[in-house]
Amino acid sequence: MNKRRCITPLRAGLLFLVFGFGLALSAQSRDISGRYNCTGTNPDGSGYRGTVVITRVSGDTYRFDWSVGNNYSGTGTLVGNQISVEWGDTSPAIYNVQPDGRLVGTWANGSGSETLTPAGGNTPPGPPPI
């Protein structure tokens, strides 16, 4: 009976450590900074291509610099796997970070779409090394 009481707190402590470590890892943000190839569709259905440079400003805040015929810039905060970027339009560009490192999103209240693909040499976003 005493042996069982010793094991139960030990198991509880082990579960707490494993669970706490898992939460700490999930709380660490991925770094999406880098150079991306951009393909998109305007609200009128026409397509465009270009590049986007994403720079980490601090923490989970990033600056986006688009070169897609015209130049645009904006700032957004990464929350989980989603980043909403204010870029001077009435609605933000909203991207979801994919497991393969692409950012897939919409703009113009969802009537425009855009995919950012890491350019050669980019490391796909992922958790920081332990």
**Consecutive H or E run containing 23:** helix 2-27
Q: Does the model's pTM come out above 0.85?
A: no
The pLDDT tens digits for 8-44 are 554 544 444 444 444 344 445 689 999 999 999 999 9
Q: What are 62's two structure tokens?
A: 């990033």
Structure confidence at residue 120 as a pLDDT band (50, 70, 90): confident
Q: What are 51's two structure tokens?
A: 């590049």
At 14, phi and psi to the nearest 5? -65, -45
Q: Which of 94, 99, 98 is nearest to 112 (CA)?
A: 94
Which one has a higher pLDDT value, 1 or 102?
A: 102
At 18, phi and psi to the nearest 5? -65, -45
The pLDDT assigned to 30 comes to: 87
Q: What are 116's two structure tokens?
A: 């950012």
Mean pLDDT across 77-105 = 97
Residue position matching structure tokens 């991306």:
36
Residue 85 has pLDDT above 50, yes or no: yes
Structure confidence at residue 110 as a pLDDT band (50, 70, 90): very high
The pLDDT assigned to 29 comes to: 66
Q: What is the CA radius of gyration of the chain?
A: 20
The pLDDT assigned to 61 comes to: 98
The pLDDT assigned to 14 comes to: 40
CB 81 within 8 A of CB 101: no
Task: Determine how β-strand 47-58 pairs with β-strand 34-41.
Answer: antiparallel
The pLDDT assigned to 121 comes to: 64
Q: How many helices (H) and strands (E) does the chain have?
A: 1, 8
